[in-house]
Structures are given as C-alpha cells and as structure tokens.
Amino acid sequence: MTASPVQRRDADSVRVLTIDRPERLNALDRDTLEALDAAFAAAADDPQVRVVVLTGAGPKAFVAGADIAQMAALTPIQAHEFSTLGQRLMRRIERLPKPVIAMVNGYALGGGLELAMACHLRIAADMARLGQPEVNLGLIPGFGGTQRLLRLAGRAAALELCLLGTPIDAARALQLGVVNRVVAAAELEAETMSVAAQLAAAAPLALRGILDAVLAGGECPIEEGLQFETARFGLLFASEDMREGSAAFLEKRKPQFRNR
C-alpha cells in the first residue's frame, strides 16, 4: 500500500497534519490535495480535536507550490478542475470550525502560500520564503491566492506579490500581515505548539463563533457582519461554557470548558 502523502499525529487535543513529500518539497499534486481534504474533514468531525496544526516534512519547505510536473500536462478543462479541487480544500480549511495554524517551516510558494493563507493563523520560521510566483510560469494563482492576499495584506501587497512573482522573506511577510509571527527556525515547533495549546484550552464554542464571525464579516457589508456577531454573542449565553467561564473569572480560577 502506498503511504499517504499526509501524516497525522495527535498531541492531546491538537492534531498535527504533515505534508510528507520532502523529496518534492511537499508539492501539491492531486493525491495530496485529496488527502488533505480528507484529513481536514476527519479533524472537523473528531470531537477530541480542538486545534489543527499544518506543516511540511523536511527542513526546506512548508509547501513549495503545486506539482508543476503534473500540472504542466493538464488541458484547460483539467486545469479548471485542478483549480476547483484546490479551492475546495482551501475553503474547507478556512471554514473549519476549529482553529488551524500553519507552521511555515520553509518555502511557502504558489499553492503553498495559498494553503497557508487559508489557515486561520500563520507562524513562520525566520528563514521561510513566501510568494506567488505563478506569473513566471505564465499563470495566475489558482487556489485563491489573489483573493486571500487582497484580504490579508491589501491591494498593493497582493499586486506586488502576484505581478512580480518574487518571493519575500518572513520579516517582510510579517510587515505585510501575511503571517502572524516569525520565530527562529529552532523555536518554530515549540512556539506553534504553545499557541495551539492555548487555543485548545479555550472555549471551543467561542472559538467557533469568532471564526464564523470574522469569516462572515470579510464577505459581507458591515451591517450584516454586526448582526451576525450580535446573534452569535447572544447564542453563546445558552452554553454551559459561558457560565463556566464567567464563574471561573469571578472565582479567580482556571475555567474548564467542555464544548457545550
């Protein structure tokens, strides 16, 4: 049996997914996209999983892009289907009801940056390089890069990265708002797992409400976003976790959230 291109391990309530194609710098081919889609669907459905961390195997790359060797042979119709497959995965990650952290341990180029941007938080090693170099292949980003860069970093940065196709370093990515934190490569895993543990200890229903509200707010007029926020705010008052969090605050103790 062929080994899966996506490896999984659980650390308490944190699920770590590792794209395991280091010999191809973890490039995204069809099998890898489908394996990731299945892995994220399973994480969403597993009540024991509260946070997902996504990274790439090996010392060089998070994901160096789509698999160009496979992609170069596609017909226009097949390319449309490939883009649709990639965008479906990115949308699944973006809409996951649990926080997803991209642990960017190296190159995040093309589809790799698109994959990282679909995650809710991005923590990068200081030696990471990020970019949308598709223009150098006579292409445009196909997994949502133009749209998520626009929303994360603004029009000027989106045009700079997509039009020039030149990768940027992690410090520049932090300045643009493309990543949330930059740490030394030797500290990347510890920092990422520390953030994951903090999220895993938080109230799951509140985290889901935040994820839903921010996503909805980015896709609708502000009045609709505010209404959505108010509805979720009120709904959480019916949860046991809200009562527990309030009681713990008043009693000066650590809350024990139970996802209900």
Catalytic residues, by residue number, are 114, 134
> By 3-state DSSP, what share of the chain in percent is helix, strand and coil, each rounded to 5?
55, 15, 30
Number of H-type helices and E-type strands within the chain: 11, 10
Amino acid at position 141, single letter: P
Tokens of 132: 């949308």
Q: Nearest 5 degrees, angle CA 254-CA 212-CA 206?
A: 15
| 168-169/129-131 β-pairing | antiparallel
Q: Could you tell me which of 7, 172, 212, 237 has the C-alpha nearest to residue 161?
A: 172
Residues written for the chain:
260
Strand order in the sheet with 61-63: 61-63, 107-109, 129-131, 168-169
CA of residue 33 relative to chain centroid, distance: 14
* Joined tokens for residue 71: 């992609």
**82 backbone dihedrals φ, ψ, rounded to 5°:** -65, -45
First and final C-alpha spacing in the chain: 40
